[in-house]
Structure 1
Amino acid sequence: MDLGISGKVALVTGGSAGLGLAAAKSLAREGCDVCVSARDPEKLADAVVELQEFGKVVHAVLADVEDPAAARRVVEETREVLGPIDILVANAGGPPAGRFDEVGLDGWDVAVQRNLLGTVRLAHAVLPEMRSRGWGRIVTITGRAAREALDGLALSNALRPAVAGLVRTLAREVGRDGVLVNNVMPGPIETERLRALAGDADALRQRGEDIPVGRVGQPEEVGDVVAFLASDRASFVNGVSLLVDGGEAHVIA
Structure 2
Amino acid sequence: MDLGVKDRVALVFGAGGGLGGAVAEALAGEGARVIAADLDLDAAEATVGRITAAGGSARAMAWNLSDRTVIEARLQDIEATEGPVSILVNNTGGPPPTPVSGQSPADWLRYFEMMALSVIAITDRVLPGMKAAGWGRIVTSTSSGIVAPIPNLGLSNALRMTLLGWSKTLAREVGRDGITANVILPGRVATGRILFLDEQKAKREERSTAEVTAESTGSIPLGRYGRPEEYGRVATFLASDAASYVTGSVIRVDGGLIPSV
Please state which band the TM-score falls in when normalised by the shorter chain. over 0.9
- Aligned AA for 2:251? L
- Residues 38-187 of structure 1 mapped to structure 2, 5 A cutoff: 38-101=38-101, 103-187=103-187
Structure 1 residue 18: deviation in Å? Answer: 1.2
Q: SS where residue 68 of structure 2 aligns?
A: coil
TM-score normalised per structure 1: 0.95
In structure 1, how many angstroms separate the alpha carbons of the residues matched to 2:103 and 2:3?
42
Structure 1 residue 98: deviation in Å? Answer: 0.3
In structure 1, how many angstroms separate the alpha carbons of the residues matched to 2:41 and 2:129?
29
Q: Taking structure 1 as reference, are residues 110 and 231 closer, same or farther at Cα in structure 2, changes over 3 Å only?
A: same
Spell out, residue by residue over 1:126-180, the C-alpha distance to the aligned partner (whole angstroms, 9 max, x if none): 1001011100000000011122322111111111111011110110000000000
TM-score normalised per structure 2: 0.92
In structure 2, how many angstroms separate the alpha carbons of the residues matched to 1:65 and 1:142?
15
Equivalent in the alignment of 1:34? 34
Q: SS where residue 223 of structure 1 aligns?
A: helix
- Aligned AA for 1:176? R
Q: Does 1:204 align with 2:213?
A: yes
Say whether the 8 Å CA contact 2:25–2:47 is kept in structure 1.
no
- Aligned AA for 1:131? K
Give 5+ residue unaligned stretches, structure 1: none
Say whether the 8 Å CA contact 2:36–2:61 is kept in structure 1.
yes
Say whether the 8 Å CA contact 1:59–1:81 is kept in structure 2.
no
Give 5+ residue unaligned stretches, structure 2: 200-208
Spell out, residue by residue over 1:9-32, the C-alpha distance to the aligned partner (whole angstroms, 9 max, x if none): 100011111111110001001110
- Aligned AA for 2:225? V
Structure 1 residue 102: deviation in Å? Answer: 5.2
In structure 1, how many angstroms separate the alpha carbons of the residues matched to 2:110 and 2:68?
11
Equivalent in the alignment of 2:239? 230
Spell out, residue by residue over 1:17-72, the C-alpha distance to the aligned partner (whole angstroms, 9 max, x if none): 11111100010011101001111122122122112123232112111111012333
RMSD of aligned Cα (Å): 1.4
Q: Which piece of structure 1 moves more, 122-131 or 144-153?
A: 144-153
Say whether the 8 Å CA contact 2:148–2:258 is kept in structure 1.
no
Q: What percentage of residue pairs aligned between the two structures are identical? A: 38
Q: Which piece of structure 1 moves more, 234-243 or 140-149?
A: 140-149
In structure 2, how many angstroms separate the alpha carbons of the residues matched to 1:202 and 1:6?
44
Say whether the 8 Å CA contact 1:205–1:215 is kept in structure 2.
no
Match of 2:228 among 219, 233, 239: 219
Structure 1 residue 122: deviation in Å? Answer: 1.1
Say whether the 8 Å CA contact 2:9–2:82 is kept in structure 1.
yes
Equivalent in the alignment of 1:25? 25
Runs of 4+ residues deviating >4 angstroms: none
Spell out, residue by residue over 1:187-208, the C-alpha distance to the aligned partner (whole angstroms, 9 max, x if none): 1111111101112234223311
Say whether the 8 Å CA contact 2:41–2:60 is kept in structure 1.
no
